[in-house]
Amino acid sequence: MPSALEHLARLPAPAPLADAVDLHRFLTLVPDPRDARGRRYPMTALLSAAAAGVLAGASSLAAIGE
């Protein structure tokens, strides 16, 4: 799991709303290392979904996928 998501998982309380609103803007700055042929979904959408799963309590990649 990326270190930013691990940091979110360790937060004792939900992040302030102002930070959650800016999360999408910060995730757009993450470079996409995938080959163009392997891109079915935008990287920002994948990271946003993973962050939402972690914020909802998921602690593994399988739990995020569920």
- pTM (global) more than 0.75: no
Per-residue confidence (pLDDT) for residue 21, from 0 to 100: 64
Structure confidence at residue 19 (pLDDT): 62
Count of helix runs (H) and strand runs (E) in the chain: 4, 0
Give pLDDT tens digits for 24-48.
788 888 888 888 887 888 988 888 8
CA 16 to chain centre: 16
Q: What is the pLDDT of residue 36?
A: 84
